[in-house]
DNA sequence: TGATTAACCTGGTATATACCACCTAGGCTA
DNA sequence: TAGCCTAGGTGGTATATACCAGGTTAATCA
């Protein structure tokens, strides 16, 4: 298609920087300048390869680079689009996250993926400070904003303490349910945040490629007596997550 | 090299799962079983392609998938190796992080990349609650464990408050310097954690590919009067990071 | 009008090839 | 012995090609 570029054809300055990153840079600039804005469609792999006179695989790598950066998302076989802004999650404010998000510029929608009673495995039982194989209520929900998935949350509650919990409508803040119907509210939490590879079923729900990366947030939530009553795990699209906290140094 | 696989050749159950992920799965199992342990070398792209009778690009994709997962790291042109365990960073414990890490199983080493006096830009000045263009002391350090880079930290201190700061040896906990020489210690911090694309110079220091992803942690550190005196930014290899916090719900 | 279909678009996977830059180890030379 | 150098290994980039699977859309048919 085109001859091998050699050093002397004075087109670019950093001829060391790979071609696919140069192309990614140009697209990134367009996004930062505002030529392309949130949810706008990007050029396809094939059109990029024509435009820059490279092979499709090179155009693809440029787009993939922007994708792993999080600037761009990919709706399976429809094209690639500019990602929306991040959502800020304040870890000191667990209770009212859904309420906050709904009253702010984001309006979060919730899909209930699964809701069932089950039995705690040993790790879960230990975290909840319960005997092994105790009954738990578990539900998984997908949080999204206008069809754009943001994170998956799975929560486990001690069944005994929250009878008939699953009769409630789970498309709302569960903190509100707990407070109104069971007079229980979160007081402290132990939180862990890490980055890890996505699992196949998560990738499907979050609409990302199976070889991508997510942010996992796990928390044990305690009441005002310090007794744990909930374990939660959130799996975020990395580019949609931003966690803030106010730390007080312990000595 | 090999004929196109069709549905009827009963070799695998999930013939839908891409070949490169199947290969990645097998390697992942080896790591989880312990056949391969920390810092062991993995098969090369070329040897994988022979072993599984696929093209080099397919073997490569398998290894790259494990790399973005964080299970595997890549030492430029030497090969791919099994990643070490994560380091846990307790955000409520900022002061003594270096001390902690050095006394635990990890022994962290520090390289000073840069140390200089400079002038705060508007964002930094605002974060430090100082007038614009105030003098700051800034230094960048690379934290690693036995040649394995873990994170980069850049800190900015108000110069006026910490005279001759750069005369100290920066290959130690700066919290200790601040406490011993300036009678200042961290009391609270405002922290933000996010995942983002790595920048070229960071990628070089962290020894990762330019199209990868990192965890960024930014914090404004305040003394016991609530006055900010330090702004810090850490850029972590995602697979090496794990952040924990104890949250107290604010209402 | 409403449903079906077909053409065309998108990205997903996979092969085969080529050349480059860099690292390492082993052998050779001074 | 100390240093250099080369051969072979590794990943990095890039092209060209092929076919598949799913989404979109517009033409077609009942």
> Cβ of A21 and B211 within 8 Å?
yes
B20 touches strand C (CB under 7 A): yes
- Three-state SS string across B183-238, please? CCCCCEEEEEEEEEECCHHHHHHHCCCCCCEEEEEEEEEECCCCCEEEEEEEEEEH
- Are A191 and A217 found together in one domain? yes
Q: Would you call A139 helix, strand, or coil by DSSP?
A: strand
- Are B123 and B27 found together in one domain? no
- Are A224 and A106 found together in one domain? yes
CATH code assigned at A208: 3.40.1410.10
For chain B, 251 residues long, give each residue's pLDDT as a single digit of tens. Answer: 333 333 333 333 345 899 999 999 999 999 999 999 999 999 999 999 999 999 999 999 999 999 999 999 998 889 999 999 999 888 877 655 655 655 566 678 899 999 999 999 999 999 999 999 999 999 999 999 888 999 999 999 999 999 999 999 999 888 889 999 999 988 889 999 999 999 999 998 999 988 889 999 999 999 999 999 999 999 999 999 999 988 888 76
Domain membership of residue B75 (yes or no) is: yes
Tell me which residue range forms the domain holding A30. Answer: 19-82
- Are A57 and A138 found together in one domain? no
Domain membership of residue B227 (yes or no) is: yes
Q: How far is residue A201's CA from residue A210's CA, in Å, rounded to a whole number?
A: 9
- Are A120 and A48 found together in one domain? no
Overall number of domains in chain B: 2
Domain finish residue from B49, B82, B115? B82
Domain finish residue from A50, A82, A114? A82
- Are A125 and A195 found together in one domain? yes
- Alpha carbon A6 to its chain centroid, in Å, reads 42
Instruction: Output phi, psi for B184, to 5 deg.
Output: -120, 135
Output Rg (C-alpha) for chain A, integer angstroms: 23
Domain membership of residue A4 (yes or no) is: no
- Are B140 and B214 found together in one domain? yes
Domain membership of residue A13 (yes or no) is: no
Q: How far is residue B176's CA from residue B134's CA, in Å, rounded to a whole number?
A: 24
- Locate A91 and state its tokens: 């870890």
Domain membership of residue A9 (yes or no) is: no
Domain membership of residue A181 (yes or no) is: yes
Q: Would you call A186 helix, strand, or coil by DSSP?
A: coil
- Are A131 and A199 found together in one domain? yes
CATH code assigned at B36: 1.10.10.10
Q: From the CA of B72, how many Å to the nearest CA of chain A?
A: 11
- Are B47 and B140 found together in one domain? no
Domain membership of residue B67 (yes or no) is: yes
Domain finish residue from B32, B63, B82? B82
- Are B36 and B147 found together in one domain? no
> Cβ of A193 and B93 within 8 Å?
no
A-B Cβ pairs (cutoff 8 Å, strict)? 152
- Are B115 and B230 found together in one domain? yes
Considering only CB atoms, which chain B residues are within 8 Å of A248?
92, 187-188
Q: Would you call B177 helix, strand, or coil by DSSP?
A: helix
Please give the nucleotide, over all strands, whose C1' is closest to the CA of residue B5.
Answer: C14
């Amino acid at each position: 298609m085109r001859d091998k570029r050699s050093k002397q054809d004075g087109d670019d300055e950093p001829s060391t920087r790979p071609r696919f990153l140069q192309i990614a840079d140009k697209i990134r600039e367009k996004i930062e300048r505002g030529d392309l804005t949130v949810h706008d469609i990007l050029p396809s792999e094939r059109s990029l390869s024509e435009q820059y006179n490279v092979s499709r695989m090179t155009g693809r790598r440029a787009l993939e680079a922007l994708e792993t950066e999080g600037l761009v998302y990919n709706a399976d076989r429809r094209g690639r689009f500019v990602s929306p802004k991040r959502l800020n999650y304040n870890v000191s404010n667990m209770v009212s996250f859904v309420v906050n998000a709904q009253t702010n510029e984001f309006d979060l929608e919730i899909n209930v993926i699964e809701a069932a009673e089950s039995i705690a495995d040993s790790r879960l039982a230990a975290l909840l400070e319960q005997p092994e194989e105790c009954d738990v209520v578990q539900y998984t929900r997908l949080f999204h904003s206008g069809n754009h998935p943001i994170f998956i949350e799975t929560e486990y509650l001690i069944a005994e303490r929250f009878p008939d919990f699953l009769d409630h409508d789970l498309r709302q803040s569960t903190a509100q349910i707990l407070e109104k119907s069971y007079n229980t509210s979160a007081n402290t939490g132990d939180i862990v945040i890490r980055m890890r590879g996505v699992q196949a079923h998560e990738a499907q729900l979050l609409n990302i490629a199976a070889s991508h990366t997510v942010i996992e947030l796990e928390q044990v939530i305690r009441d005002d007596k310090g007794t744990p009553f909930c374990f939660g795990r959130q799996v975020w699209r990395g580019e949609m997550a931003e966690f803030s906290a106010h730390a007080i140094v312990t000595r």
